[in-house]
Amino acid sequence: MAVFEYRGILVGTGKPTKGVRDAENAKALRAALRKDGVLLTSATEEKQAKEKAKKDIKFLSFLGRPGAGDIAIMTRQLTTLLRAGIPLFESLNALIDQVEQVALQRALTNIREQVKEGSTFAKALQSHPDIFAPLYVNMVRAGEASGTLESVLERLTVFMENQAKLKGKVTAALAYPVLMAIIGTLLISVLMIAVVPNLITTFQSMDQALPWYTELLIFTSGFLGSYWWLILVVLGLSWWGFTSWKRTPVGRLAWDGFTLKIPVFGSLISMLSIGRFTRTLSTLLAAGVDLLAAMDIVRNVLGNAVLEKVVEEATSSIREGQSISEPLKRSKRFPPIVTHMIAIGEKSGQLEEMLENVAVSYDSAVETRVQVLTSLLEPLMIVVMGGAVAFIAFSILMPLIQMSNFAG
């Protein structure tokens, strides 16, 4: 006996209808529905329907993946509904009607059906890894096991809102320098490819030697105008080779190690990763997730292979009975203040609070550092772009002035 999801039309009223029904095959389903006054228009086995729904969700996620803000809003709404005493299934029903993001709406619909069939909320969330990260799933699982799902969801909401807020501030601060770099590059490219070649014939007609900087400008302009396609091909192949190498374990470890050594920016990357580590670990431990499981989850959210290796080694040391702070201190990748506060938290039994304090401190430091960098980058970009345009103008005008003096 197969289970079918069907769509049809009521014979008496002509209204569309849909539902789920058992039948030996599609022909038997059609006959059974006809007896009930339903004209079958389409039928799909429930297993196939679920697989198709998951594929649709993945496709929609690819087109427009739900952001951290979308999931945070959804989580806060779910928390409010659960705190009001509304059962999980009914809360999911209400959420589906409110959510506007299509991929998230489809995912919640699938999750609701799994919950209806007896699945746990965490297990249903786990079937959508493109939308709900392991951190989210494991915290929900811990909340369900301890009977504190509402509190866990509240913590999750605060965590995601803080992460989205910090990311938004960093993105907003870097937007202006990036925009300036793009506009400046386009402007210089137009000058080199469209303007300079028109003056080459004038320069060639001059019966005198050109300055070295004008010769350099003419050569660069000619090279860009003739071989721009080759430059794009080389850049594309170089980027493809670099990304392919970086995806390998050795390449990723080497690149991430290099990024941590870059002056100024290396310390900023390290601060971002450590802030993410402490906040995520604090959130997981406060939600009741086991320390070893929490460390495994945290390792996957650091975004740096070198620091991930440190956390992996620390997890192995914890399994052998050591504290968290000792292996982190030995790695010399975590600042002494961080390991010291973690050690105090372990001894006092206030590890979650200490980790949260470190996270708040690092988030504030990152925000300040980004503001300082962007305030320095903006005038630096102006100087660099202005210098490039001035060089082009100087290289063009000086021969013209010399020609005018010669003619006079």
Distance, CA of 76 to CA of 165 (rounded, Å): 16
144-183 pLDDT, tens digit per residue, is 877 888 888 888 888 888 777 777 777 777 787 788 888 8
Intrachain domains 64-132 and 148-408 with the same fold? yes
Give the dihedral sign, CA 370/376/379/383. negative
Q: 67 by DSSP, 3-state: which?
A: coil
Please give the sequence-ordered ranges of beta strands (E in DSSP) within 239-300, or none if there are none: none
Query: Among 58-62, 110-114, 252-256, 392-396, which stretch is predicted with the lowest mean pLDDT?
Result: 58-62
CA neighbor of 331 nearest in space, from 317, 345, 344: 317
Q: 41 by DSSP, 3-state: which?
A: strand
Q: 124 by DSSP, 3-state: which?
A: helix
207-217 pLDDT, tens digit per residue, is 667 788 888 88
Pick the CATH number of 148-408 from 1.10.730.10, 1.20.81.30, 3.10.20.90, 3.40.50.2020: 1.20.81.30
Q: What percent of the chain has pLDDT over 70?
A: 89
Distance, CA of 360 to CA of 363 (rounded, Å): 5
Report which residue type is found at 158. V
Q: 148 by DSSP, 3-state: which?
A: coil
Q: 84 by DSSP, 3-state: which?
A: coil
CATH number of 64-132: 1.20.81.30
Taking the domains of the chain in order of start, what are their residue ranges?
A: 2-51, 64-132, 148-408
At a CB cut-off of 8 Å and minimum separation 6, what does 324 contact? Answer: 291, 295, 314, 318, 342, 346, 351
Structure tokens, 179: 């925009």
The whole-number pLDDT of residue 394 equals: 85
Give the dihedral sign, CA 69/70/75/81. positive
Cβ(327)–Cβ(348) under 8 Å?
no
Beta-bridge mates of residue 43: 6
Distance, CA of 4 to CA of 1 (rounded, Å): 10
CA neighbor of 174 nearest in space, from 185, 166, 163, 184: 166
pLDDT at 406 over 90: no
Beta-bridge mates of residue 19: 6
The whole-number pLDDT of residue 236 equals: 94
The residue with greater pLDDT, 132 or 60, is 132
